[in-house]
Structure 1
Amino acid sequence: MKIATNRKLLSLLLVSAGLAAASAAHASDGTITFTGNVIASTCKINGNQADISVALPHVGANTLGAAGATAGRTPFSLALTDCTTGGTNPTKVAVVFESGSNVDQTSGRLTLDDGTAEAPAAKNVQISVLNDKQQPIKVGSEGDQGSQTVDIAEDGTAQLNYFAEYHATDKAEAGAANSKVQYSLTYQ
Structure 2
Amino acid sequence: MDIKISTAPTIKASTCDVDGNIDIKMPNIGLNRLLEVGSVAGRTPFNIGMNCDPSISVHMVMTDAQNPGNTSNVLSLSPGSDATGVGYQILRDNSPINLGPASSIAGALNQFKVLSSTGSAGGRYLIPFYIQYQRTASSKPGSGTANANAVFTMSYQ
- The TM-score range, normalised by the shorter chain, is 0.7 to 0.9
For residue 166 of structure 1, what is the aligned residue in structure 2? 133
Structure 2 vs 1, CA of residues 148 and 106 (structure 1 numbering), >3 Å: closer, same or farther? Answer: closer
Deviations along 1:24-54, whole A, 9 cap, x unmatched?
Answer: xxxxxxxxxxxxxx952421112xx1x1111
**1:40-79 correspondence to structure 2 within 5 Å:** 40-46=13-19, 49=20, 51-79=21-49
Q: Is the contact between residue 65 and residue 149 of structure 2 (CA under 8 Å) also seen in structure 1?
A: no
From 143, 155, 158, the counterpart of 2:109: 143
Judging by fraction of residues, say which structure has more helix: 1
Greater Cα radius of gyration, structure 1 or 2: 1
Q: Is the contact between residue 99 and residue 110 of structure 2 (CA under 8 Å) also seen in structure 1?
A: no
Could you tell me how far apart the structure 2 residues matched to 1:172 and 1:103 are?
24
Deviations along 1:144-183, whole A, 9 cap, x unmatched?
Answer: 34x4421325242222111100000133221111000111
Say whether residues 1:186 and 2:138 are aligned partners: no
Aligned AA (2:73):
G
Deviations along 1:54-110, whole A, 9 cap, x unmatched?
Answer: 1111101111121111001111111111x221xxxx421122112543357252311
For residue 127 of structure 1, what is the aligned residue in structure 2? 88
TM-score, L = length of structure 2:
0.76
Judging by fraction of residues, say which structure has more strand: 2
Higher RCO, Cα 8 Å, sep 6+? 2
TM-score, L = length of structure 1:
0.64
Structure 2 vs 1, CA of residues 106 and 95 (structure 1 numbering), >3 Å: closer, same or farther? Answer: closer
SS at match of 1:98: strand
Structure 2 vs 1, CA of residues 60 and 77 (structure 1 numbering), >3 Å: closer, same or farther? Answer: same
Could you tell me how far apart the structure 2 residues matched to 1:148 and 1:74 are?
21
How many residue pairs align between the two structures? 137
Structure 2 gap segments, 5+ residues each: 1-10, 102-107
Identity %: 30
Q: CA deviation at 1:126?
A: 0.5
Q: Is the contact between residue 102 and residue 179 of structure 1 (CA under 8 Å) also seen in structure 2?
A: no
Q: Is the contact between residue 102 and residue 112 of structure 1 (CA under 8 Å) also seen in structure 2?
A: no
Structure 1 gap segments, 5+ residues each: 1-37
Aligned AA (2:58):
V
